[in-house]
Amino acid sequence: MRLKILKRGHRLLQKVQIFFIGTMMGYTPGPIAVLSYRRNFFGKYYNPWLQQALRGAKHWSVGEIELFGTFVSKQNQCQYCTTDHHAIAKMSLGKEMADAILRDFEQSNLEDRVKVVLRFLQKLTLEPHAIEEADFMPLQAQGITNEAIEEIIHVCGVFCVINRLADSFDFKMAPDTEKVARFLLKNGYAMTSLKG
Amino acid sequence: MIQALKRAVLGKGHSDPELRQQVYEKVSDQVLTGDITPLTAPALNSYIDKLSNHAYKILDQDFEALQSEGYSEDEIFELTIVGATAAGVTRLEKGLSILQKLQ
């Protein structure tokens, strides 16, 4: 972590919680450090968006949402988020599907419905200025409803924030990715911004 | 939810609110047009360009450059949060605005 305030600047009650999380997970996850520090500035408001986008979707499974989050993180070349969310997607959907998005997904066996989403997310992540109505047509042609499209746009939004924070603040990689993935798959993200 | 997030990161803080507004607009403009509008402070401008376009290229030296220009850790924290928020929220708003036209 590049800023000392994100290692030592938390309130006393947050420090106690961070100590126990560190004991349990073997490290302090960067998102918890950032979303908890002066949480009225950011974490208190970003955390509900994160939880809603990743665990509140009605048209996609948790595994699919994690797959899309992994893909956005991969486009942004964020190793921290790609690694953790790929592990969650792998636990939910299996190795073949989760690994397919790390390579050339166009050559993979992913179903067309997923491929059109990945194409859309790729453009919204890397060329947002060029996104236009025509980019939504392949999604609709696959029978993906506007509500379902809205959900994937939110996934892109939350990851385009946290990917940048992970790389700029230099989040340390988890020593045990599987353990983190199991925890996040079971508990979601509601506890990422610690009160105190 | 999103409006509350924007109000928070552009509201009360340790850094100059006008500077945070400029950072937000710079990143947001880049998302919408692809154009880069320079900030007057060179180290901050270079850092925000990286944050907006390829955050994975940010190095310790970028933070050292900001600190040598007098930015405190809390100011760097806030300006980073603002830039990252602009990158995510502007993509969200653009995507949702096009979707709304299709309904």
Question: Which residues in A93-105 are b (16+ Cβ under 10 Å) and which e?
Answer: beeebbebbeeeb
B28 touches chain A (CB under 8 A): no
A-B contacts (CB, under 8 Å): 132
Residue with tokens 């499974």: A61
B64 touches chain A (CB under 8 A): no
Domains and CATH numbers, chain A: 58-187 (1.20.1290.10)
Q: Which residues of chain A have pLDDT under 50?
A: none
Give pTM, 2 decimals: 0.96
Cβ contact, residue pair B1, A49, below 8 Å: yes
- Look up the ipTM and state it: 0.96
Write the single-letter amino acid at A105.
F
Cβ contact, residue pair A41, B78, below 8 Å: yes
A41 touches chain B (CB under 8 A): yes
Q: Tens-of-pLDDT digits for all 103 residues of chain B?
A: 999 999 999 999 999 999 999 999 999 999 999 887 888 888 899 999 999 999 999 999 999 999 999 999 999 999 999 999 999 999 999 999 999 998 7
Cβ contact, residue pair B92, A153, below 8 Å: yes
Residues B51, B45: Cα–Cα separation, whole Å? 10
Q: Token pair of A191, please?
A: 């506890």
